[in-house]
Structure 1
Amino acid sequence: MLAISIIVFTQCTTKDNSIIIHEQGSFTVGGSVITNPGTFNPYNPTPEGQSLHGDHAYVFYQIPTDARKYPLVMWHGFGQFSKTWETTPDGREGYQNIFLRKRFPVYLIDQPRRGDAGRSTVSASINPIPDEQQWFGTFRIGIWPDYFEGVQFARDKQTLEQYFRSMTPDIGAIDVNVNAEAVSELFDKIGQGILITHSHSGGMGWLTAIKNQNISAIVSYEPGSGFLFPEGEVPAPMSSAGGTLEAFDIPMQDFMKLTQIPIVIYYGDFIPEELNSNPGQDGWRVRMEMARLWRDCVNKYGGDVTVVHLPELGVKGNTHFPFSDLNNVEIADLMSEWLRDKGLDN
């Protein structure tokens, strides 16, 4: 009977592998309104006297049966949208379904001015510039047109097609404060939860945690910018073949808020230990180095930050997207173990 109870408690799938969803829906959070002065005439519509609601985040959520206490809020990286966490480019289940099966409520974000949150209050110009081969390298799949040996990425044409088509433009300039405020309002709405970030949203995740104490923990996959240090303790800029990486300072009272929650950072494979002439790889060398300096600084003040370089665990071949690579179930299990160790899988 005990074994049967455990199985029922830890799964929300049926014998045919269906996921049982208790509730799902979508909504927007954050944003602002701009207006055009004047008087609106319904018989002669002009911009005068009308409004525009924009700069909000779009959120799609699913709550499984027997849901765990803390929802997972998943925030995409640069040039991406909520598709990041859905079906993988090669057609397997992504983090959305993997963690629904683990009974976590899952909230997927499209940040302001991106994807389904494309209603912007600022002007934008979108130029169709061919650049996908550059991203192939920056995301560490290989050096175009060759794949890295042992890379955890399917090499068929259709997978690459889906991968490239998962990118989307910004409808207006990226504003880290607008984005952080919108995600903070999401945590105001849902209460305590765990923030999962990727790449560019990593730095915005730190900002959001400073704004909102409902963030109980952060899991950050390959943060690439926005590292926050106390005033007077910012490391020198780091040079690489991929450009220069700079950190930022914040007041100590804000920095100390980052010491109050557990944080884990994961980096994948193909990151060189020393200066490398390939920009797509070398840029991540300094980002991982900065993440380790940031870990040391947060922990010096009583924090709980862990930086995991997956190859050091014997997990090899991962790209910039470990959560959608061929071994994403293994990567998800590592995250599950961390959540359990921190008492966050109730």
Structure 2
Amino acid sequence: MRPLRFLGCLWGLLSVQALRFSEGGGTLHTRRFFFVGGSYVKQGKSEVVHGQMYVERLTPAKVTQDFPILFIHGLGMTGSNLINTPDGRAGWADYFLAEGYEVYLVDQPGRGRSAWKEGVDGNQITVGATWIESHFTATRNYGLWPQASLHTQWPGNGTVGDPIFDEFYKSVMPSLVSSVESSLLVTAAGSNLLDIIGPVILITHSQSGQFGWPLADARPSKVKAIVALEPSGPPFDNPSTLSVSSLVRPYGLTEIPIAFDPPISSPADLNYHAVKVTSDYTCYQQVPPARQMVNLVDIPVLVVTAEASYHAVYDDCTVQFLAEAGVNVKHVQLEDVGIRGNGHMIFMEKNSLQIAEDVINRWLQQSLTSSCLAFDLCYASYFEFSQSCL
């Protein structure tokens, strides 16, 4: 019996290691794609489908997690940006596949493989290379906010002509100008997707942060957790101005309606006031007692902020708004857990896998009940697993 037990343990060890992330090659998985949402609308004398969303489903050889991950990308991006990094390393999609998660990637409606329709969809804009340099990849060269000088984790020098920057910038897509239009389209198509695939872990980034809240609001039972990577903010206002007249998120964190308790009939019902965050920065919060984001209060939320990003200036305001609105939110500022030098594109940077492992996945395991691996050993390391077989 002992040889059979040894072979069983050896098979288990190999199975666990096969599912682990390998820098040299991708994780074994199957790939499918489909479309959700959309409707036929008039275009000239014919009809076209508008508002559809491309969905890519990646399933590892062995699914060990209870809930799949749904990634929604940010401005100018598509789902392909999660596949690998601009310098050729495997991306977060592969990491989470190796951890036993099924992964769904989407292209927002009106972008990439979710085709924009002329005369039907709204105007588009493409983010320029200089803006990308100054806000994402070479922030030290521009110094537009105090923390910009701390940025060290982008691979390459982050400027036009650098092969890694050029590879990244070639992936930048035209995006709908109107965030209201994008919010409505993503919420509609995303709700359709959740009705099809069931409960998910929702990971948003940047622009899509303000799409994640109304999606979870529309389907609260289908969103088991939200990881918001530097979500759109701060509340109500743009980070570039503190003028009330420039109100851009009238519902606090969103541009489209979301449920509050007590209910509101219009954004005017949300009373807000200026709150001094630092000596040189002010943001807006609800006037107490804050109305509650009633459909989000049972969903655990993680907000992640990088040390050198422009979000380091104001993500505290976003987290405060969520907490005062009754949301169970945890805020991880990467420098506080020893992860230094990151900018806004944390899932592309040199230490991206450390962030996925030590911050995102660790929080998910703490926040959700997950399935066990072979021999009823949950998330065991190689050493722990091997010792149990002796």
The separation in 2 between residues aligned to 1:87 and 1:14, in whole angstroms, is 13
Does 2:93 correspond to 1:81? no
Corresponding residue of 1:305: 329
Does 2:323 correspond to 1:293? no
Does 2:257 correspond to 1:255? no
Of the three residues 40, 55, 59, the one matched with 2:55 is: 59
Change (3 A) 1:149 1:217: closer
Change (3 A) 1:108 1:191: same
Corresponding residue of 2:273: 236
Corresponding residue of 2:39: 32
Change (3 A) 1:253 1:58: farther
- Report the alpha carbon displacement of residue 239 of structure 1 after superposing the two structures with TM: 10
The separation in 1 between residues aligned to 2:361 and 2:61, in whole angstroms, is 18
- Report the alpha carbon displacement of residue 292 of structure 1 after superposing the two structures with TM: 2.3
Size of the aligned set, in residue pairs, is 315
- Report the alpha carbon displacement of residue 31 of structure 1 after superposing the two structures with TM: 1.4
TM-score (norm 2): 0.71
Change (3 A) 1:56 1:311: same
What percent of counterpart residues are identical? 23
Does 2:169 correspond to 1:164? yes
Amino acid at match of 2:339: V
Corresponding residue of 1:153: 154
Contact 2:134 2:142 in 1 (8 A): no
Does 2:188 correspond to 1:192? no
Change (3 A) 1:326 1:215: same
The separation in 1 between residues aligned to 2:271 and 2:112, in whole angstroms, is 34
Contact 2:60 2:100 in 1 (8 A): yes
Does 2:228 correspond to 1:204? no
Contact 1:10 1:103 in 2 (8 A): no
Corresponding residue of 1:223: 231
1:110-163 CA-to-partner distances (Å, cap 9, x unmatched) read 01001111233625555778x321222222641447984551111251111112
Change (3 A) 1:266 1:126: closer
Amino acid at match of 1:27: F
Amino acid at match of 1:265: V
Corresponding residue of 2:134: 137
Corresponding residue of 1:317: 341
Secondary structure in structure 1 of the residue aligned to 2:297: helix
Could you tell me which runs of 5 or more consecutive residues in structure 2 were left unpaired when the two chains were aligned: 1-5, 234-248, 372-390
- Report the alpha carbon displacement of residue 201 of structure 1 after superposing the two structures with TM: 0.6
Q: Which has the larger displacement, 311-320 or 2-11?
A: 2-11
Deviation beyond 3 Å, 4+ runs, structure 1: 1-4, 13-18, 123-129, 143-150, 171-174, 228-240, 243-249
Contact 2:216 2:295 in 1 (8 A): yes
The separation in 1 between residues aligned to 2:293 and 2:98, in whole angstroms, is 35
- Report the alpha carbon displacement of residue 171 of structure 1 after superposing the two structures with TM: 5.5
- Report the alpha carbon displacement of residue 223 of structure 1 after superposing the two structures with TM: 0.3
Corresponding residue of 2:368: 343
Does 2:327 correspond to 1:327? no
Secondary structure in structure 1 of the residue aligned to 2:228: strand
1:233-261 CA-to-partner distances (Å, cap 9, x unmatched) read 65436899xx9977899xx9982111111
- Report the alpha carbon displacement of residue 101 of structure 1 after superposing the two structures with TM: 1.1
Change (3 A) 1:193 1:115: same
**Over the residues paired in the alignment, what is the CA RMSD in angstroms?**
3.2
- Report the alpha carbon displacement of residue 170 of structure 1 after superposing the two structures with TM: 2.2
Secondary structure in structure 1 of the residue aligned to 2:165: helix
TM-score (norm 1): 0.80
Contact 1:123 1:172 in 2 (8 A): no
Contact 2:26 2:94 in 1 (8 A): no
Change (3 A) 1:267 1:56: same
The separation in 1 between residues aligned to 2:323 and 2:34, in whole angstroms, is 38
